[in-house]
Amino acid sequence: MRLYTNCHNCRKEIKFSTSEPDRVELSKSKGEKIELNCNYCGQKDFYHVNKIKATESKTAQVTGLIIFIIGTPLTFYLIWDYTFRVAHIDAIVGLIGIIGVPLMVYSIINMEQKRKVRLFNMYKISESIK
């Protein structure tokens, strides 16, 4: 999950990462207003946690895709001899499993990213008036 907001000065995107799963945990660890530095114009400013949005991490998607692309041929290679020694129906089930396991890992990674982003963006904390 990647967090971002827009710079108050130049409106460019300010990206940052954190391990907190939602806005409440983010505000507990870093405060209700977080100081961020814009990489484009260099201005430091405070941003309320409700102005911060989450999007899916490209790193997690690429990792899942690599697992799928490398995992399928690797699994196929590891069970090649066994698959074609058995009856035809077992070979078909084996081939489905060869593709299914890496695909399932890829799908789980993507679903988890979408769930994290949805939970982060869904809830906002109430702003205190000072």
Q: What is the pLDDT of residue 86?
A: 62
Asked if pLDDT for residue 129 goes beyond 60, the answer is no
Q: Are residues 28 and 14 in the same domain?
A: yes
Neighbour count for residue 72 (Cβ, 10 Å): 17
pLDDT digits (tens, 9 = 90+) for 57-82: 888 788 878 888 887 778 777 776 66
71 compared with 108, residue with greater pLDDT: 108
* Domain boundaries, position 96: 58-120
pTM (2 d.p.): 0.68
Q: Are residues 83 and 99 in the same domain?
A: yes
Q: Domain end: 10, 27, 54, which one?
A: 54
Q: What is the pLDDT of residue 5?
A: 92
For residue 79 the two structure tokens come to 């069970």
Q: Domain end: 54, 77, 97, which one?
A: 54
Asked if pLDDT for residue 12 goes beyond 70, the answer is yes
Number of domains in the chain: 2
9 inside domain: yes
pLDDT digits (tens, 9 = 90+) for 19-71: 888 888 888 888 889 999 998 888 899 999 989 999 888 887 888 788 888 87
126 inside domain: no
DSSP code per residue over 50-87: GG-EEE--HHHHHHHHHHHHHHHHHHHHHTHHHHTTS-
**Angle, alpha carbons 58-59-60 (nearest 5°):** 90
For residue 56 the two structure tokens come to 């899916």
129 inside domain: no
